[in-house]
């Protein structure tokens, strides 16, 4: 920690360092970039993984919070804050040259807060339309629907990219470029397309069948969850987190619950911890099964898709019997779980484990070793370890590139410290590695469940929680490992029953942001397959 | 040896012919008969297509551990009729900025080509509308017209997905046409004729696939692969590629225009299977063993068209099995498979067949006694 | 015509809820009486239409997954002849709007609906597409797709279970069977006109003009 402080002091003389839940550094905008560069490039502990980039509106100031971590030691986290007082034309410095994942995040901050980033080569708003009036996440946003009326008129997609760059003399120059050249053959993949895993919009320039360039557009399911959360109490927020990455609904919910519990100091009874962990792992299995299924479907194997869905139903049946839900199960609540397990729960789960193992073998014979499937996945969509880190691609995809990034292992929560499991890591970095990682993680999840299922202790399922939960003032982070990767909840509280600001780190957004890189030069058909192997969920990106 | 054939339609056809000849002048008799045959073929075409659509949906259900349609009629057997009624009354959308003429003409190329090929297939003893001397060549020629319809559809729709689909289809069909034609030629070398009726007749005691043993078997497998590819069905469904191109070349077609493509797709599958049956598996000829008259008689009690449709159904099942098992090929793998694997093997194979025939290594040459040729 | 006369295999009319509103719909359709011959022909056509509803899944979020589950092995949409999901709107009969529709998606939803060939139907699946669901208060969520397109059947739930979707689709079958296809009579629930106003000019939009495609410069 001392070395980090030294680096900070060297790079930014005006930095204010404070020890909160995480080590927090506040710097003026001018010194942000040198500081980030020093943190990123130092040799002892390079902070090369930007977990989250959070836009903030503190009333008098607009700013950004960066949550950083070294890729080789995920336990260390560092919070960097910068802010500007100019609300009319807020300008901050971009970190896109250091962290590729900042590209989309900074564009999102621009759309939501109106903060423009100097030196970001592409300053179009992300998620919202170009024509959107106002910046929704600012506290003074006018929610009058008349300002942004609903219309059925399609608008043209703008091709010009505004940017604001700093030249050698330190002057700011505004200019525009174009996304595509004039005679590019552009096809729109999405927003309504059978295999984009939702409503992603990839504008794709083709060179014959080969991908020349991709422009990622999103926001077709931007529901403003973060804004909604600011006016909801903490138990109410849980219902919205379920609908982010609905395939890992219960795991997302777990993150928010833990964040609030840690902030308030609520003790979760052991029985609830067991149920939560088992449910999380079951949820992971169902998420990976759906990922397998839709990946196969993207490669044109409809039968494999149906098989994946068939096994998934067995998990859903267990959910159904426990709490009546299938996809979204409302199981975790702050302080424990909502429903106790039913009497035959252990029996059902134990019956499921050997069944699933048998099916995994079947998948291997049926699809994993299919010669066509191999041709379609091996050496396709290569992502290096460095790319995975700089784009922040976590989860099975990041581990497919050889990056050990399992939150369950590095920042254990719930019962993950007590169970033994291997982190599945492959170094090939191609679609096939990502695909196999998911199947192997199903096996690991089964092992975790096996260790827990017989030892569920008796007792309460909910800890003592006040009827109205108020979180003490401060900033709180909590990461979990969802089916897609690292999901982080950030809560800034002013001591009220509502969060002042709530931000979700979306693993899918990182996965999408790397798509243009890894699919350039690939075939159109493989682009769809690579998308399947990255396994992103769009509502998680758009929030 | 004459066997009793109680269920054959040859007698009925002969009677009909005699009836018309008796009451009408020869010219008008031919016209009426021609019309009747046309109607019969179109009707059979529709019935087979509808039946195949139903069968496919049921078999897909079987492969995917589902039930498949089961609401209409027994086991959902009239599901396709409902689909047909629906598609007939569906609006045909007129597209602005499309090439109107080509857009409307395109489906007819597809359906026309499959109908023409369909007409030349020998369905049973005496159940062949036209028996060209160049039957095999005719089938190859006619079935390649279909790709024109696909290309035109993609071009005229003014839709980029359609365009990509059509271009893929063009590359794919033209490539695989070569293999299909060469593998049929291999059999022509063996059979020594292009006339379908003679090819069937020559397989009375031994099917071509056995008669030509290794080269014929290779040709059969290649024909199945390339025929399957020509029908644009998975794993060769790149022109439609649901996951990539929404619906490929027929994205902009609605109503009955789409129905034509839909029907033709199934019919082409049938035609490929039917050609393979006729050329390699003895067509409508029942299984017979030279000298075993009792056995042969029993076989002949099963009418020839049942043999034909039975063998074809087997091949169709195989094709469905393949379709629902494999993931889709990519365009480069697809073309590599054809130009670097199938075509060289095929060229070599045709030479092998010539040698086999000239050297007298076919089964009929080696064991003439077995087949009553001595 | 009586609503009880509409037969769905294995589902007696009594087991359906909300028979009254369907009866009201039928009464409205039949207000002018029916020609017997046309009526019979209608019956046949409607039988075909009702049993061959090919869906287009306009899936934006969670409900889309439940639609997939409904089409997969455990529930099997194919039993009703509805498994032929057409990805091209031109070939689909029923659009299943599964998920939240936000402002940015509204023009696209309308465009896909307009691309569908008549006769077409819409099923609003899930709370979001019925009313905005949990996101009603959001700044950019449309509170119900019936503001943009006419909706035939609403399937509540968040997300609805596949069984609910089946129930909704069977209700749609009943509704289709009550239609008068030949006389071109089908009552479409009016959608909110305020979305048909051009925000730039404040003028009402003429859909005919609006749907003229923008000149395509890419193919020349």
Tally Cβ neighbours within 10 Å of residue B261: 23
Whether C107 is covered by a domain: the verdict is yes
Residues A307, C161: C-beta atoms closer than 8 Å: no
What are A83-103's pLDDT values in tens digits?
888 888 888 888 888 888 888
**A286 occurs within a structural domain:** yes
CATH code for position A26 = 3.30.460.80
Residue C92 lies in a domain: yes
- The per-residue pLDDT of chain A, averaged, comes to 86
Indicate yes or no: CB of B91 within 8 angstroms of CB of C80: no
Q: Of the candidates A124, A139, A154, which is a domain's last residue? A: A139
pLDDT > 50? residue C212: no
Looking at A95, A119, A139, the residue that finishes a domain is A139
Residue A247 has what pLDDT? Answer: 86
A122 and A249 belong to one structural domain: no
Q: Quick one: tokens of C118?
A: 């008549």
| Chain C closest-CA separation from residue B97 CA (Å) | 9
Tell me the C-alpha distance between B205 and B214, whole Å: 18
- Domain-located, residue A152: no
Tokens encoding B229:
């590819």
> Which of C105, C161, C196 is the closest to A220 by Cβ?
C105
**CB contact set of A334 (below 8 Å; sequence gap of 6+):** A234, A235, A238, A257, A260, A261, A266, A465, A469
- When the pLDDT of each residue in chain C is averaged and rounded to a whole number, the result is 78
pLDDT over 70 (residue C210): no
DSSP string, A72-101: T-TT--EEEEEEES-SSS-EEE--TTT-TT
Sequence-separated (6 or more) residues with CB below 8 Å from residue A82: A26, A27, A28, A29, A32, A63, A64, A66, A92
pLDDT band, residue C191 (cuts 50/70/90): low
How far, in Å, CA of B314 to CA of B220, rounded? Answer: 14
Closest-CA residue of chain A to C199: A149
Beta pairing partners, A213: A205
Phi, psi of A196 (to 5 degrees): -115, 15
Arithmetic mean of pLDDT, B210-237: 85
Interchain contact, C93 vs B246, CB within 8 Å? no
- Chain A residues with a Cβ under 8 Å from any Cβ in chain B: 185, 187, 193-195, 206, 209, 296-304, 306-307, 310, 366-367, 370, 372-373, 375-376, 523-526, 528
Nearest beta carbon to residue B67 from set C78, C91, C118: C78
Is residue C51 situated within a structural domain?
yes
Is residue C82 assigned to a domain?
Answer: yes
ipTM: 0.86
Average pLDDT over residues B100-107: 86
Contacts across the B-C interface (CB distance below 8 Å): 109
- The CATH number assigned to the domain holding A334 equals 1.10.645.10
Question: What integer pLDDT is reported at residue C192 of this predicted model?
Answer: 62
Distances in whole angstroms, Cα of residue B237 to Cα of each of A296, B325, C201: 15, 13, 47
CA gap A235, A330 in Å, rounded? 11
Q: Does some domain include residue A215?
A: no
pLDDT at C218: 41
CB-facing half-sphere around the CA of B72: CA atoms within 13 A: 20
The set of residues, in sequence order, having a beta carbon less than 8 Å from that of B359 and lying 6+ positions away, is: none
Answer yes or no: is C195 within a domain: no
Domain count within chain C: 1
In this structure, what are the phi and psi dihedrals at residue C155, rounded to the nearest 5 degrees? -115, 105
Q: Tens digits of per-residue pLDDT, C126-170?
A: 888 888 888 888 888 888 888 888 888 888 888 898 888 988 988
Whether the per-residue pLDDT at A143 is higher than 80: the answer is no
pLDDT of amino acid A177: 86
Number of separate domains in chain A = 2
Mutate to test the interface with B, among A300, A311, A374 (most CBs of B within 10 A): A300
B237-286 pLDDT per residue, tens: 877 766 677 777 888 888 888 888 888 888 888 888 998 988 888 888 88
Q: Is the pTM of this model over 0.90?
A: no
Overall average pLDDT of the A68-92 stretch: 85
CA end-to-end distance (rounded Å), chain C: 56
State the pLDDT at residue A263.
86
> Which among A158, A125, A139, A159 is positioned nearest to A56, based on CA atoms?
A139
Burial class (CB in 10 A: 0-12, 13-18, 19+), B178: middle
Smallest Cα distance from B93 to chain A, Å: 20
Residue A468 resides in a domain: yes
Helices B79-89 and B255-280: angle between axes, nearest 10 degrees: 140
Q: What is the per-residue pLDDT across A226-281, written as a single tens digit (0 to 9) for each?
A: 888 888 888 888 888 888 888 888 898 889 998 888 888 888 888 888 888 888 89
pLDDT at position B259: 87
- Identify the H or E element spanning A117: strand A116-118
The encoded tokens of residue B126 equal 């005496």
> Average pLDDT, stretch B218-233?
87
Domain hosting residue C54, numbered range: 12-188
* The pLDDT of residue A320 is above 70: yes
Domain boundary among A111, A139, A167: A139
C80 vs C167: CA distance, rounded Å: 11
C167 located within any domain:
yes
Please report the DSSP string for A451-504 in residue order: HHHTTPPPS-SB----SS--PPSEEEEEEEE-SSSEEEEEEEE-SSSS-SEEEE
Exposure on the CB side of residue C95, measured as CA atoms within 13 A: 29
Question: Does residue C117 lie in a domain region?
Answer: yes
* Domain assignment of residue A216, yes or no: no
Kindly tell me the burial class for residue A443, based on how many C-beta atoms sit within 10 Å of its own C-beta (0-12, 13-18, 19 or more): middle
- A430 inside domain: yes
Contacts by C182-186 with C-beta closer than 8 Å and gap 24+?
C182/C38, C182/C41, C182/C42, C182/C45, C183/C38, C183/C42, C185/C29, C186/C29, C186/C119
CATH of the domain at C158: 3.40.50.12280
Would you say residue A156 lies in a domain? no
Domain boundaries, chain B: 8-82, 90-371
Question: In terms of domains, do A111 and A251 share one?
Answer: no
Residue C220's pLDDT is what?
36
What percentage of chain B exceeds 70 in pLDDT?
98
Contact list, B247 vs chain C (CB under 8 Å):
86-88, 90-91
**Looking at the structure, do residues A239 and A375 belong to the same domain, yes or no?**
yes
Q: Count other Cβ atoms within 10 Å, centred on residue B373.
A: 12
pLDDT(B44) > 70: yes
Q: What pLDDT was estimated at residue B205?
A: 80
According to DSSP, the residues that pair with A504 across neighbouring strands are: A489
Which of A219, A217, A94, A112 has its CA nearest to residue A158? A217
> Is C88 at the interface with chain B, CB within 8 A?
yes
């Amino acid at each position: 920690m001392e070395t980090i402080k030294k680096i900070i002091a060297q790079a930014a003389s005006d930095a204010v360092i404070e020890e909160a839940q995480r080590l927090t550094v506040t710097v003026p905008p001018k010194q942000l970039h040198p500081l980030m560069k020093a943190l990123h490039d130092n040799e002892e502990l390079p902070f090369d993984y930007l977990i989250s980039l959070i836009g903030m509106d503190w009333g008098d100031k607009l700013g950004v919070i960066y949550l950083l971590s070294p890729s080789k030691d995920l336990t260390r986290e560092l919070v960097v804050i910068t802010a500007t007082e100019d609300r009319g034309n807020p300008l901050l410095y971009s970190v896109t040259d250091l962290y590729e994942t900042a590209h989309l995040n900074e564009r999102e901050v621009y759309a939501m807060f109106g903060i423009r980033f100097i030196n970001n080569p592409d300053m179009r708003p992300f998620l919202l339309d170009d024509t959107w009036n106002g910046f929704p996440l600012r506290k003074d946003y006018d929610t009058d629907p008349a300002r942004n009326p609903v219309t059925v008129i399609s608008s043209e997609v703008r091709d010009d990219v505004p940017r604001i760059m700093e030249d050698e003399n330190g002057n700011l120059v505004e200019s525009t470029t174009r996304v595509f050249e004039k005679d590019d053959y552009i096809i729109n993949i999405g927003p309504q397309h059978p295999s984009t895993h939702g409503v992603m919009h990839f504008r794709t320039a083709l060179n014959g069948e080969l991908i020349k360039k991709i422009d990622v557009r999103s926001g077709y399911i931007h529901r403003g969850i973060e804004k909604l959360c600011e006016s909801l109490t903490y138990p109410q927020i849980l219902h919205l987190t379920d609908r982010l990455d609905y395939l890992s609904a219960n795991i997302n919910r777990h993150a928010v619950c833990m964040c609030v519990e840690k902030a308030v100091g609520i003790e979760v009874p052991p029985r609830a911890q067991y149920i939560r962990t088992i449910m999380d792992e079951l949820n992971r299995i169902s998420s990976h099964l759906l990922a397998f299924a839709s990946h196969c479907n993207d490669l044109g194997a409809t039968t494999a898709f149906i098989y994946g869905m068939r096994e998934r139903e067995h998990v859903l049946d267990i959910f159904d019997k426990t709490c009546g839900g299938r996809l979204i199960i409302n199981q975790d609540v702050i302080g424990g779980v909502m429903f106790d397990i039913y009497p035959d729960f252990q029996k059902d789960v134990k019956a499921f484990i050997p069944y699933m193992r048998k099916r995994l073998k079947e998948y291997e014979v049926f699809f994993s070793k299919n010669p066509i499937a191999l041709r379609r996945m091996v050496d396709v969509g290569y992502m290096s370890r460095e790319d995975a880190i700089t784009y922040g691609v976590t989860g099975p995809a990041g581990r497919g590139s050889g990056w050990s990034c399992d939150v369950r292992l590095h920042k254990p929560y719930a019962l993950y410290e007590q169970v033994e499991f291997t982190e599945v890591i492959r170094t090939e970095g191609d679609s096939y590695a990502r695909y196999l990682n998911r199947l192997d993680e199903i096996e690991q999840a089964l092992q975790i469940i096996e260790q827990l299922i017989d030892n569920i202790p008796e007792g309460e399922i909910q800890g003592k929680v006040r009827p109205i939960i108020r979180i003490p003032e401060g900033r709180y982070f909590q990461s979990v490992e969802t089916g897609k990767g690292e999901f982080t909840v950030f809560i800034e509280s002013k001591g009220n029953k509502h969060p002042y600001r709530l931000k979700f780190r979306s693993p899918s957004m990182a996965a999408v942001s790397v798509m243009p890189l890894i699919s350039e030069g690939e075939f159109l058909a493989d682009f769809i397959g690579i998308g399947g192997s990255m396994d992103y969920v769009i509502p998680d990106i758009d929030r | 040896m004459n066997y009793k054939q109680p269920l054959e339609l040859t007698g009925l056809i002969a009677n009909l012919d005699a009836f018309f000849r008796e009451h009408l002048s020869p010219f008008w008799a031919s016209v009426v008969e021609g019309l009747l045959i046309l109607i019969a073929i179109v009707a059979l075409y529709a019935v087979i297509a509808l039946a195949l659509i139903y069968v496919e949906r049921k078999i897909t259900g079987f492969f995917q551990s589902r039930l498949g349609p089961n609401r209409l009629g027994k086991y959902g057997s009239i599901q396709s009729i409902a689909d047909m009624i629906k598609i007939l009354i569906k609006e045909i959308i007129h597209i602005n900025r499309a090439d109107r003429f080509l857009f409307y003409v395109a489906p007819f190329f597809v359906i026309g080509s499959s109908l023409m090929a369909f007409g030349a297939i020998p369905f049973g003893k005496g159940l062949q509308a036209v028996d060209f001397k160049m039957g095999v060549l005719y089938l190859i020629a006619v079935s390649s017209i279909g790709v024109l319809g696909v290309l035109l559809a993609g071009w005229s729709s003014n839709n980029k997905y359609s365009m990509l689909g059509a271009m893929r289809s063009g590359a794919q069909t033209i490539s695989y046409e070569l293999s299909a034609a060469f593998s049929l030629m291999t059999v022509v070398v063996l059979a020594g004729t292009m006339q379908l009726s003679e090819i069937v007749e020559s397989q009375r005691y031994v099917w071509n696939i056995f008669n030509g043993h290794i080269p014929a078997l290779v040709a059969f497998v290649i024909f199945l692969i390339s025929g399957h590819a020509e029908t644009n069905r998975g794993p060769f469904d790149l022109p439609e590629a649901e996951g990539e191109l929404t619906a490929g070349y027929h994205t902009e077609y609605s109503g009955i225009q789409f129905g034509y493509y839909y029907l033709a797709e199934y019919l082409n599958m049938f035609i490929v299977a039917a050609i393979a049956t006729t050329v390699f598996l003895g067509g409508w000829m029942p299984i017979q063993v030279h000298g075993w008259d009792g056995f042969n008689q029993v076989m002949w009690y099963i009418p020839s068209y049942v043999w034909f449709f039975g063998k074809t159904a087997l091949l169709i099942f195989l094709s469905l099995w393949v379709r629902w098992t494999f993931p889709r090929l990519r365009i480069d793998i697809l073309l590599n498979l054809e130009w670097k694997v199938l075509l060289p093997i095929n060229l070599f194979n045709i030479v092998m067949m010539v040698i086999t025939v000239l050297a007298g290594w076919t089964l009929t040459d080696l064991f003439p006694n077995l087949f009553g040729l001595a | 015509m009586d609503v009880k006369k509409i037969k769905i295999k294995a589902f007696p009319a009594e087991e359906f809820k909300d028979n009254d509103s369907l009866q009201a719909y039928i009464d409205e359709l039949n207000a002018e009486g029916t020609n017997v011959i046309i009526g019979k022909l209608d019956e046949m056509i409607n039988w075909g239409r009702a049993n061959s509803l090919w869906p287009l899944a306009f899936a934006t979020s969670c409900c889309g997954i439940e639609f997939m589950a409904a089409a997969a092995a455990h529930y099997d949409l194919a039993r009703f002849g509805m498994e032929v999901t057409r990805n091209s709107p031109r070939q689909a009969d029923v659009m299943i709007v599964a998920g939240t529709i936000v402002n940015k998606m509204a023009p696209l939803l309308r465009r896909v609906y307009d691309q569908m060939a008549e006769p077409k139907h819409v099923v609003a699946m899930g709370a979001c597409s019925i009313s905005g669901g949990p996101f009603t208060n959001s700044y950019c969520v449309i509170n119900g797709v019936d503001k943009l397109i006419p909706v035939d059947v609403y399937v509540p739930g968040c997300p609805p279970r596949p069984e609910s979707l089946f129930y909704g689709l069977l209700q749609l079958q009943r509704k289709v069977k009550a239609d008068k296809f030949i006389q071109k009579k089908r009552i479409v629930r009016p959608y909110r006109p305020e979305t048909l106003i051009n925000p730039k000019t404040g003028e009402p939009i003429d859909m005919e003009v609006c749907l003229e495609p923008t000149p395509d410069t890419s193919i020349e």
